[in-house]
Structure formats: structure tokens, C-alpha cells
Amino acid sequence: MKWRRGKGARKRREWFSGAGCAAVGGVLFLLGVAAYLALITLLTNEQREEIAELKERIREAGQPLTLEELNAYYPAVPDEENAALVYHEASVLLDEIDPNGATVDALLRSLELSSGNDASLPELQQEIGAFLERCGEVFAHLERAATMPKARYPIEFSTRWSAIPAHFHYLERCARLEKLAALHGLLDGRQWEASECLKRMHHMAKSLEREPFMTSQIVRTSILIEHVESVEMGLKLAYLYPETLADIETLYVDTSDPEPLVRALAGERCLWLAEPRIPKAVEEVSVVGRVINYLDPAGQSTFRQARLLSYQEAILKTYERLIRLAKEPWEERLTYTQDLRDNGTGWRRSVEFDGHPLYVALHGTDRMALETLFARTTLLTVALERYRETYDALPQTLDELVPEFIDAIPVDPFDGQPLRYVVTDQKYAIYSVAFDRVDDGGAPLEPIGEMDSVGDWVFEVRQ
């Protein structure tokens, strides 16, 4: 009996000892959780303070952060002064004549294939002239719109776009119509008319100047591409009078848009801040993110909220840095965004995912540098043509232009070096190292993937 009582007592002691250990362990666990939550709370409070300071600095730079501020940043325009409404009316008329722009595209392709001395050119010119006559009312609207200095297109700021805004498409189509009319006028010797077409095309691009979205600014750049290509083709197909060159020079000398990038980021930033979230694809980059998604699909946990604050702080720091870089040379901005894309760690690697609040910003920055490139290339081309008009020859180096025809050789915004120049018996070319920032000797751009390319951007004129 004593042996049994001893055995039972020993078991009871073991049980109580185990229960005590479990109780102590449970208390320690709860204390650990409480300490962890206290630490998270402390850190999130610090993050909130840092985010508030970041927002204040961004506002001090004149940049919006809320949808209300964004609406004021892209000011309303009275209907009677709004070029956007007239451009829309012109596009409706053009769509009735040439649905989807098929005729304009076909005629431009035919002109591009022509050498300027092609035997079929008179017949092609007659066909173009007949088509442009049918577009008389369209041109009347485009002429009226070009007299209006203000524009605001209808964009809904409350949500992200579910489709590409209609004005992106019809502005590009109207620009191509003006390009066709300009080339037709040059070939017919009516350079005054061609010059007016180029001015109107430039006004279309300028009408998007205040629109605070990266996509808007990329469309604006595409219109400027059409403008520069018109000048390039015009020089290949016809002789440009000094008066026409002066008009072209004025368009780019008087460019009043010093910073398309900062404005392009405003809309992306405000839309994301209206409902900040970590995109699912970004969360899945890390194991921690995948575990949190599994345990807290609704996103209500303290840890998830802390993670979101950390993410928001990182995004705002990048935006602030891009705003401060606005006054620096383009090559510094491009180097910064390239480093974020290629060499960043942690959350920065996730910019490869569409839906990241910096995806468009970091992949579209190089497109914003194109406007500066176009302006500098055009001014350099005007100087070359004036040299040729004066000396009946082209310079062998760009240094021969200074200071008689241009104050200094324009630099390539992509690498900060002077624009490259190549001259032969048959042609001359000005080129930029472009997006990959590698001098490929003037090899034309070739796309590699959706948003990247290799090769140089080349402006070429046959002598």
C-alpha cells in the first residue's frame, strides 16, 4: 500500500510540475506577444510620423496627394475656352470619314516608301489631296482648337481607369492627319500650309501638358514623335524654306514644359494613396508575405498594417526623391530609376509587377526624356540646314556650327554627352544612345519585350 501511495504521489507531483511549467510557458508566451505588439505599435507610430513628414515635404514641393488636390492640380477649363472639346468634335467628324484611321495610315505608308522622285508620286499626291479635301471640316475644327491655349480632357479621378481614355486614341489619329497634310503641302510647294500643320500638331501635344498621368504624357510623347518624323520626312522629300525652319525652331525654343515626369507621377501617386495597398503579386515575392496572405486574407492584422505602413513609407520616399531630381540632368534621373529596376532589393525588386504603384513611373521615365531629346535634335537639325543653306555643304563635325548657327552642341539627355552626328555622301544622321544608353553606332532601335529596347534613336536625312 505504501508503495502504491508513493507511486501515485509521484505521478501527482509530476502532473503538477508539468502543469506549472505549461502555465509558466503560457504566461511567458503571452508576455512575448504583448511585448511584440507593443514594439509593432511603437514602430507603426514612428512610421506614421515619418509618412506625415514625407507628405508635408511633397506638398511643400507643390505636388498633390489626395484626389481633391489632384483635381485642383489639373484645373477645370470653361467650355468656351476648352480645346479638348473641339478636338473631340474634330475626331467625331474624322471617324465618319476614315473609321479607325485606316486611310490616313495607308497614305502615310505610301509616302514613307516614296523617295520623293518616285514616278507614282504625282498620282499619290492627287489621291492625298482628294482625301484631305473631304476632311475640310475636320481641319476647321483643328484650326479653332489650336487657337485655344487651355485644355482639360474628361478623366475620372475617383477610380483607376477600366479602359484607355478615348482622347488618347483620337488625338493620335488627328496628329497623323496633320502629319499627312504637312507632307502633302511640302511636296506641293505650299510650305506655309505645312508649317501651320506642324504648329497644330505641336498644339495637340501641348494640350496634354497638364494631364497628371504617366500614360497621358507617353501619349503626348507619341504625338511629338509624329511631329519630329514629319520634319525628318519633310527634309527627305523636299527642301525646307528658311521661314519654315524658323517656325519649327520657334516651336521647340518656346517649349514651356520643363518637367513632364513630376506631373506624370502626380496622378499615379494620388490614386494609390486614396486606397493604399500592397499588390498581391508584391506580397508573394517573399515567404513572409505569402504566410501573411494565408493567415490574414482580409488584411486586418496588426502585422499586416505595419507592413503596409512600411511599404507606403518606401513608396513615398521614392516619389519624393523623383520630385527632388526634377532639377537635375536627365541622366541622373534615368540612372536612379534604372538602379531601382535592376539593383534594388526587397520591395524594390517587385516593380517588375504591373499594379505596383511605381511600375509605370520607373518603366516610363525614359519615355519622358524623349521630349527633351526631340527638342534638342530638332534645334540641331535647323542649325545644320542653315549651315547647308549658307555654305552649300554640310559640316564634317558639329563644332563647325558653333557659334554662328547654334550657341552650343545639344547634349543627349540619356547619357549627358553631345548628340552624335554622322555625315556621308548620301545622308547625315543625328542620333542618341536612347533607352539602353549604349552607343550602337546609329543602329536603329529594336524592341525587346514590352517596355525595353536596344539600339539608338536615329534622325536621318538623305542629302
**Alpha-carbon distance 191 to 238, whole Å?**
10
Q: Which residues pair with 418 in a beta bridge?
A: 411
Split at pLDDT 50, 70, 90, the class of 78 is very high
**Alpha-carbon distance 289 to 294, whole Å?**
9
**Alpha-carbon distance 186 to 244, whole Å?**
10
Q: Are residues 96 and 197 in the same domain?
A: yes
Total number of domains constituting the chain: 3
**Alpha-carbon distance 423 to 385, whole Å?**
13
Q: Are residues 125 and 155 in the same domain?
A: yes
Domain contains 272: yes
Task: Tell me the mean pLDDT in the region 236-255.
Answer: 83
Q: Are residues 348 and 362 in the same domain?
A: no
- Mind giving me the DSSP string for 23-55? HHHHHHHHHHHHHHHHHHHHHHHHHHHHHHHHH
Q: Are residues 46 and 180 in the same domain?
A: no
Split at pLDDT 50, 70, 90, the class of 113 is confident
Split at pLDDT 50, 70, 90, the class of 81 is very high
Q: Are residues 346 and 418 in the same domain?
A: no
Q: pLDDT per residue over 300-325, tens digit each?
A: 556 677 778 888 888 899 899 988 88
The pLDDT assigned to 285 comes to: 46
**Domain span including residue 459:** 358-463
The pLDDT assigned to 346 comes to: 43
Q: Are residues 310 and 367 in the same domain?
A: no
Selection from 208, 198, 133, 196 nearest residue 170 by Cα: 208
Check whether 345 has a pLDDT greater than 50: no
Q: Are residues 59 and 168 in the same domain?
A: no
**Alpha-carbon distance 426 to 391, whole Å?**
17
Query: Is the separation of the CB atoms in 26 and 33 below 8 Å?
Result: no
Domain contains 424: yes
Domain contains 21: no
Domain contains 1: no
Q: What is the pTM of this model?
A: 0.82
Domain contains 20: no
Q: What's the burial of 279, exposed, middle or buried (CB within 10 Å: 0-12/13-18/19+)?
A: middle
